[in-house]
Amino acid sequence: MRGLYITDSYLKRFEATAKEVKDDRFVVLDQTAFYPNSGGQPHDLGVLIREGEEFPVVYAGLFGGQISHELGRVGLVSGDRVEGSIDWDRRHLFMRSHTACHLLSAVIFRETGAMITGNQIGEKRSRVDFSLDEFDRSMLAESVEKVNRIINEDRDVKTAVISREEALEIPDLVRLEKDVPEREEIRTVEVEGIDLQACGGTHVRSTKEIGRVKMLKAENKGKSNRRVYFEVSEGD
């Protein structure tokens, strides 16, 4: 089952049925908009509501290909109809930060050819790691300013779900065939004219929604590993 956020990242409320409840608090639904902790993007928080009774969702994770919701209290049983509601302020911040990660990765790759080795989005700050021999702080600061210029151009961000065969034909979508996930469908995210990547996370619809990206810190993390910390704030 793929999450409802794959086709609609802006879905905040949805209806579902509890398919499976383990240990009284781990719930798999027949469908969900809750994003599970994965790909450097933290899980959503929120509530499941059964006839007015609220069950807080304190964690969501991927287990055996299914999205499991950990509840903060017991009582939900298999077959219950619920309404799910995600904490939108938290999710929207992650969508903005996640889209900013794409822009920063694209700009740094274009400037230096550096491959991105990791990223972690957070509530206070986010980071992108990449492999680069030289550590040039002013280049990184300039890259962040380029990201802000792209944000102000208000470019569209589009997602699509395509077959694995189609994905393999797109140059640079993923740079090595072995990195194309072994699934039948691949989710792509395109920032118009800037970047096209395979990604299963949640993103904003257009770059202006990100606001403004501020570099907090650039770090040397070993021989050729560099790390940039940034935060997003409301734009001007």
Is residue 84 involved in binding Zn ion (CB under 5 A)? no
**Distance (Å, rounded) from C-alpha 223 to C-alpha 12?**
43
| Least distance in angstroms from the C-beta of 72 to Zn ion | 28
Instruction: Output 85 or 117, the one with its CB closest to Zn ion.
Output: 117
| Least distance in angstroms from the C-beta of 224 to Zn ion | 24
| Least distance in angstroms from the C-beta of 141 to Zn ion | 23
| Least distance in angstroms from the C-beta of 39 to Zn ion | 7
Q: Which stretch binds Zn ion (CB under 5 A): 52-60, 147-155, 157-165, 198-206?
A: 198-206
Q: Which helix (H) or strand (E) holds 43?
A: none
Instruction: Output 69 or 102, the one with its CB closest to Zn ion.
Output: 102
| Least distance in angstroms from the C-beta of 157 to Zn ion | 9
Is residue 196 involved in binding Zn ion (CB under 5 A)? no
Closest CA to 58 of 86, 93, 21: 86
Is residue 201 involved in binding Zn ion (CB under 5 A)? yes
End-to-end, the C-alpha distance of the chain in Å comes to: 40
| Least distance in angstroms from the C-beta of 135 to Zn ion | 26
Residue with the shortest CB distance to Zn ion: 199
Instruction: Output 16 or 199, the one with its CB closest to Zn ion.
Output: 199
Q: Which stretch binds Zn ion (CB under 5 A): 6-14, 26-34, 136-144, 197-205?
A: 197-205
Q: Which stretch binds Zn ion (CB under 5 A): 14-22, 116-124, 161-169, 196-204?
A: 196-204
Binding test (CB under 5 A) with Zn ion, winner from 103, 108, 199, 210? 199
Chain positions contacting Zn ion, by CB under 5 A:
199, 201
